[in-house]
Structures are given as structure tokens and as C-alpha cells.
Amino acid sequence: MSSPIFITNDEVKSVLTWPLINESIEEAFKSVVSEDKYPLIGDQDQPYANQNARTRTSTHNDSGSLFTMPGYIGNHKLSLPNGERKAFQTLGCKLVTWSPNNQNLKPPLPTILANILLLDGETGQLQCVMDGTLITAWRTASASVVATKYLYFGRKHVQGSSDGVTLAILGCGVQGESHALGMCTEFKVNEIRLWNRTASKAVELSAKLDEARNSFVNSNPIITVCPRVADCVAGADIIVTGTQTAAPILNLDMLKKDVHINAVGASASHYSELNQDIYDVASVYIDYWAGAKTELAGLRTNIVCEVGEVIINDKKTPEKGITVFQSLGMAVEDAAVAQAVYQHLKNKQL
């Protein structure tokens, strides 16, 4: 029996691309709806999943948390470096810690640290332990990119339009950065607006985006640091909220009528960033029901369906109104991405 390997963050970074991760996330979205839509899954050309809601273990005085996220995704397709698209059966488990005091350390550490255990889907043999910190940042952003692709750019009046969009980023930490990069790499963004409670972080992100602009669909977007949330989101087509606020920062009267919001921040709950008046009128989409039933239990809103149901055309893309992707994160996302990274690294070593 061969020994498992450890894959470092630098090794992950060497092969991780937005096309690779977006493909994996789209497969993960589809997999969680397949159990209901395709009961005879062995006869269907669809990915499928088995996962539970994440478990949480608190550390001393509730100063941090360990989240355990096991998941199995079967028959998910990956594009390999040789051009082949192959199906995989993947078993994985992510261990992720949330330690908010890390940012005060000298030198600081990321607030969220993660490792992914990748196991053989047939034998259960541990293949590798993979640093999952970068994957967590990217796959969370990729989930918003894929949701935006279907919930905003899937609208008929947007399809075929050559007009670019205005993107507003609220919260300029790790998630703000990864979301800005992912959105601008996938979509034509004419203007990027940034807001952060500590303004210097927005300024820092502005500089990073300016350096990365050659990788964007539109290489010449206007990048603006905004002093207020209302200034940042006024007239924006797509909004990302990636903060740790425990109180709402976004109100209905700040928004244009057909905006799409990706709500990804986390504090005491996963839905503290948006005011109730938004949830009263918005159509809300989720990544998976098992997580939503646990982590969105107190949310009063119209949850339409899982994003995967829109991807497989079981539910229609809304043509107008406010849409919200309420992001929770799924174990099968991490497993699918880890499998893709593992395969690409194996190819590099051949």
C-alpha cells in the first residue's frame, strides 16, 4: 500500500485556474440535485453526491471553530491536461478552522485555514492530504461565479448583450479578493467598486486588481474605492458581500431593481449582511438543502431552489427582480476541486 502524500499550498497554486475550478464547482452543484432528479443514478450521465451538513466543534471559550466536511461525489467530469474529459468517483473530507484572532498575530495568519483529505472512492485508501486554504478561497468565489452565470447572465435580456457590468465588493479580505478576480476573469466587468470597514484594505485590493487587469475579460475596468456601502452598491449589477458583520450593512433602498447578490459572509449566522427588507422581496437560491435546513433555519425568505436545479434546466432562470445566492459551501465542492488539482499535479510529475 503506497503512502499518502502532502500537497502544499504552493503546489495547489501551480495548477489552480479559474476554468478548472469553475468546471468542478458546476459539477458539484449538479451532483446535489441528482439524487431526487435521477433516482436510477447508475443509468444516468449525471454526477451525484452524498454529503451531510458540516459539523462544528468550538475551541476554548468559543474563540474559534473546527468544521468537519465529509463528502462523496460520483461520476463527476474533469477536463484533463491531455484534453480528455473523464469521470471520477471521489471521497474527501475537509477540516477547516476559523480563528478570528489570527489576523492580530505577528506575522498574521489567515482567519480560515483548511486541509483536505482525498481518498480513493473505491477502496477508501488515503491518497493525499492537501492544503485547502487556497482552494477554500477560490471555490467559494467560484460558487458565486457559477451562480452569477446562471442567475444573472442567464436572463434573456442579459444574454447576448455586449454591455459590461458594474461589480460591487463589500469586504476586501480574502473572499473579496478572490471574488473580484473570479468575476473579472469570467465576465466583462466595466467597473469594480470596493468598500471595506477599514478603508486601507480596500485600497490594497484596488492595487492588486490593477496589477491583475491583464487577466480580465475587460482589461481596462474602472476601479473605485468607496467611502460608504451605499456609494459602492448604487446602480451595481452584481454585488458580493464578504464580511464578518453581525448586523445588516445592505438595505433594499440602496439597490437597483434587478440586481444579483452573492451573500458569502459569515459571523454568527450566514445571513446577517442583508437586511430583512431585501429577503422579503428577493428570490433566494442555495447550494444545497441539507446545509440550508441547518444553517439558514432562522432565515425568513423565499428560497426558490438549489442552483444546480437551474443548471440542469429543472428550474428556470428568473427574468427580473432581485436574486440572492446564499452561499454556504459544500464538502463535494472541495472534493471535486481537490480531485482536479490532484490529477493535474500527477500529470505535471509524469
266 & 307 share domain: yes
170 & 309 share domain: yes
- CA 346 to centroid of chain Cα atoms: 25
Amino acid identity, position 269: S
pLDDT digits (tens, 9 = 90+) for 115-146: 999 999 889 999 999 999 999 999 999 999 99
242 & 339 share domain: no
Please tell me the distance from the alpha carbon of residue 279 to that of residue 296, in angstroms, as a whole number. 12
- Would you state the pLDDT for residue 45? 76
- Would you state the pLDDT for residue 40? 47
Give the DSSP per-residue string, 121-148.
Answer: TTT--EEEEEE-HHHHHHHHHHHHHHHH
257 & 113 share domain: no
Is the pLDDT at 39 greater than 70, yes or no?
Answer: no
CATH of the domain at 242: 3.40.50.720
Please tell me the distance from the alpha carbon of residue 19 to that of residue 12, in angstroms, as a whole number. 15
Q: Which domain holds residue 79?
A: 5-136+332-349
pLDDT digits (tens, 9 = 90+) for 171-213: 999 999 999 999 999 999 999 999 999 999 999 999 999 999 9
293 & 160 share domain: yes
Please tell me the distance from the alpha carbon of residue 191 to that of residue 237, in angstroms, as a whole number. 10
CATH of the domain at 107: 3.30.1780.10
Q: What is the mean pLDDT of residues 277-289?
A: 97
167 & 108 share domain: no
Give the side-chain half-sphere CA count within 13 A for 50.
9
Residues facing 67 on adjacent strands: 56, 96
Mean residue pLDDT across the chain: 93
User: Is residue 115 within 8 Å of 94, Cβ to Cβ?
Assistant: yes
Give the side-chain half-sphere CA count within 13 A for 197.
8
Give the DSSP per-residue string, 338-349.
Answer: HHHHHHHHHHHH
pLDDT range class, residue 316, cuts 50, 70, 90: confident
206 & 298 share domain: yes
170 & 287 share domain: yes
Domain count, the chain: 2
Please tell me the distance from the alpha carbon of residue 111 to that of residue 334, in angstroms, as a whole number. 18
The residue whose grid cell reads 471520477 is 88
Please tell me the distance from the alpha carbon of residue 254 to that of residue 244, in angstroms, as a whole number. 20
241 & 321 share domain: yes
Please tell me the distance from the alpha carbon of residue 240 to that of residue 54, in angstroms, as a whole number. 23
pLDDT range class, residue 96, cuts 50, 70, 90: very high
Which residue has better confidence, 111 or 331?
331
237 & 340 share domain: no
pLDDT digits (tens, 9 = 90+) for 296-306: 999 999 999 99
Cell matching residue 85? 474529459
39 & 131 share domain: yes
**Eight-class DSSP state of 198:** S
Model pTM? 0.94
Is the pLDDT at 63 greater than 90, yes or no?
Answer: no
Is the pLDDT at 34 greater than 90, yes or no?
Answer: no
Cell matching residue 324? 440572492
126 & 27 share domain: yes
User: Is residue 69 within 8 Å of 28, Cβ to Cβ?
Assistant: no
